[in-house]
């Protein structure tokens, strides 16, 4: 009987070949970010400066969202907003570590807009402008969430940085498809671009935007699993 179960054990072992409580990809996005300097701001992302990012959702996890997302019919965009710098540290005059307020309504939304009859997202220049963010925030809110503990680290001399924070999904027509246990997640991404002094300049960035921004929204895995030895798995059935 044990031999007959070998293929099942093997399959189970393959299924469990990820670490305990592994995180999971939900969606990926590409776009650009920009900021609005507060009066009296003395440098990039000084206190009270506001940070924005917008662009396109470029892939989704097939398991959680694949059945409900149709990129042939709809355009999917994202917009991060209401992110205001609460405190900032400057290291060596180059390395900016900006911590954002948790009480300013920081939020990230993913939108679904029909390709036929909808409005195509247009970046334009010097945002906010006539098309951005407006053409990135039309259509249905597919998913949205409170974005907090958000922080941007950026090296001005190297023209490169990253952002990260918590993102608890709490709205949108697709929210019903995300198990409650997976709705509190996080958002992570990288920045590179026009502020570059030492790194290569990037001519693809429209005038007035700060950086190229790409990132992922990741969720806690709904079914935590763990590495097991072959012997340990067999022992479970003896």
Partner 1 sequence: MTTRKLGVAALIGVLAAGAFTAPVAAQCVAPVLICFSGDNYAYETPNNPTYISVTGSPMTVVGKIVSFDAASPLGFLNANMPAKEYTFVWTLTTIAPGTIETILGRQWTTDYASSAQPGTFNIYEGSPPDAPTTAALLPNPPSDGVPGNFSNGTLILSASINFFRVIVTKNSQGRFGGSFNATASFTGGTLYPLIGGNVFNFGTTWITTGPALGQTTALPAGFSAIVSGKSDSPTMVKASTWGAIKMLYR
Residues binding partner 1 (CB under 8 A): 4, 7-8, 10-11, 14-15, 17-25, 28-30, 56-62, 65-66, 69, 71, 75-76, 89, 91-92, 95, 97, 99, 121, 149, 151, 153, 155, 158-165, 186, 188-192, 196, 199-200, 202, 204, 212-216, 218, 221
- The CA-based diameter of the chain, rounded to the nearest angstrom, is 76
Contact 99, 68 (CB under 8 A): no
- Residue 220 tokens read as 């806690």
Nearer to partner 1, 39 or 204 (CB): 204
- 150 burial via Cβ count (<10 Å: 0-12, 13-18, 19+): buried
- Residue ranges of the alpha helices (H) in the chain? 2-15, 230-235
| Least distance (Å) between residue 146 CB and partner 1 | 16
- Residue 67 tokens read as 């059945």
| Least distance (Å) between residue 20 CB and partner 1 | 7
Instruction: Collapse the DSSP code of 136 into the 3-class scheme (helix H, G, I; strand E, B; otherwise coil) and give the result.
Output: helix
Nearer to partner 1, 108 or 196 (CB): 196
| Least distance (Å) between residue 67 CB and partner 1 | 9
Nearer to partner 1, 52 or 75 (CB): 75
| Least distance (Å) between residue 133 CB and partner 1 | 15
Contact 145, 186 (CB under 8 A): no
119-142 in b/e burial notation, b at 16+ Cβ within 10 A? bebebbeebeeebbbebbbbbebb
Nearer to partner 1, 76 or 79 (CB): 76
Instruction: Collapse the DSSP code of 70 into the 3-class scheme (helix H, G, I; strand E, B; otherwise coil) and give the result.
Output: coil
Nearer to partner 1, 81 or 100 (CB): 100
Nearer to partner 1, 22 or 235 (CB): 22
From CA 142, how far away is CA 124, in angstroms rounded? 24
| Least distance (Å) between residue 188 CB and partner 1 | 6
| Least distance (Å) between residue 168 CB and partner 1 | 15
Residues making up the chain, counted from first to last? 238
């Amino acid at each position: 009987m044990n031999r007959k179960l070998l293929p099942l054990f093997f399959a189970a072992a393959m299924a469990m070949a990820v670490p305990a409580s592994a995180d999971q990809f939900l969606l990926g996005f590409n776009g650009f970010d920009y900021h609005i300097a507060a009066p009296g701001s003395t440098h990039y992302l000084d206190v009270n400066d506001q940070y924005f990012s917008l662009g396109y959702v470029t892939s989704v996890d097939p398991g959680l969202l694949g059945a409900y997302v149709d990129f042939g019919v709809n355009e999917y965009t994202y917009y991060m907003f209401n992110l205001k710098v609460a405190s900032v540290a400057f290291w060596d005059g180059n390395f900016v570590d900006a911590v954002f307020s948790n009480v300013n309504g920081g939020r990230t939304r993913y939108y679904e807009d029909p390709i036929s009859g909808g409005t195509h997202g247009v970046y334009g220049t010097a945002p906010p402008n006539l098309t951005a963010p407006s053409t990135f925030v039309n259509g249905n809110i597919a998913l949205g969430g409170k974005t907090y503990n958000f922080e941007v680290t950026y090296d001005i001399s190297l023209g490169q940085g990253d952002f990260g924070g918590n993102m608890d999904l709490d709205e949108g027509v697709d929210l019903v498809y995300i198990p409650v246990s997976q709705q509190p997640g996080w958002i992570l991404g990288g920045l590179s671009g026009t502020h570059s002094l030492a790194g290569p300049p990037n001519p693809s960035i429209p005038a007035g935007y700060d950086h190229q921004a790409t990132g992922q929204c990741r969720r806690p895995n709904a079914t935590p699993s763990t590495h097991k030895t072959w012997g340990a798995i067999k022992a479970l059935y003896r």
